């Protein structure tokens, strides 16, 4: 962890912080979702993370996609805001967050997906019927469920 959230953690330890985040879900031409197996909880998730001070949400989503999956988004489309009790999460290291996450879809990108920064163990495209929601990281399960209904 770097940047703003790392500085906040120095001040508050593991206590709950409001985490403003942006994420992006890539969808290929066949309607499959690009997900990565997270290194921290070993469940599947999409690219995303905390916004830095004065960073635009779209820029954060693009940065996280490049850092975590090695691809550059050409176009982002707003999908939803993930917030509330369902988005509250305690990370395996004990850090607790109340997420306010802006989620985007990306259907056009450049590059070959590859796990880059150590946050993802592996990446894979999933057809809707291949996704087991029990294997999705808890604070985003309802977002992935909504995605499966929308695409």
pLDDT (tens digit, 9 = 90+) per residue, 65-96? 999 999 999 999 999 999 999 999 999 999 99
Cα 131 to Cα 121: distance, rounded to the nearest angstrom = 17
Give the largest Cα separation in the chain, rounded. 45
- Percent of the chain clearing pLDDT 90 (strictly above): 90
Q: What is the pTM of this model?
A: 0.95
pLDDT at 130 > cutoff 70: yes
And the tokens for 106? 């990306």
The whole-number average pLDDT for the span 32-49 is: 97
CB 68 within 8 A of CB 47: yes
The reported pLDDT for the residue numbered 30 is: 96
The reported pLDDT for the residue numbered 98 is: 97
The reported pLDDT for the residue numbered 39 is: 96
The angle subtended at Cα 132 by Cα 126 and Cα 137, nearest 5°, is: 90
- Residue 89 has, within 13 A of its CA and on its CB side, a CA count of 17
The reported pLDDT for the residue numbered 94 is: 94
Instruction: Map out the domains of the chain as residue ranges.
Output: 14-150
The whole-number average pLDDT for the span 113-135 is: 96
pLDDT at 103 > cutoff 70: yes
The reported pLDDT for the residue numbered 28 is: 97
- Residue found by looking up tokens 């469940």 in the block: 43
The mean pLDDT value of the chain amounts to: 96
* CATH of the domain spanning 14-150: 3.90.79.10
The reported pLDDT for the residue numbered 5 is: 87
The reported pLDDT for the residue numbered 1 is: 63
């Amino acid at each position: 962890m770097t940047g703003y959230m790392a500085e906040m953690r120095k001040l508050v330890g593991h206590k709950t912080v409001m985490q403003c985040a942006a994420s992006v879900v890539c969808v290929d031409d066949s309607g499959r979702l690009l997900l990565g197996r997270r290194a921290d909880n070993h469940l599947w998730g999409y690219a995303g993370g905390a916004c830095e001070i004065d960073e635009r949400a779209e820029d954060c989503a693009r940065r996280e996609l490049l850092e975590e999956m090695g691809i550059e988004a050409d176009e982002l489309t707003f999908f939803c805001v993930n917030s509330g009790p369902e988005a509250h999460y305690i990370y395996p290291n004990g850090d607790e967050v109340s997420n306010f996450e802006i989620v985007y879809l990306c259907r056009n990108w450049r590059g070959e997906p590859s796990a880059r920064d150590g946050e993802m163990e592996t990446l894979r495209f999933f057809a809707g019927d291949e996704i087991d929601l029990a294997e999705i990281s808890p604070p985003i399960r309802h977002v992935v469920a909504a995605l499966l209904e929308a695409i």
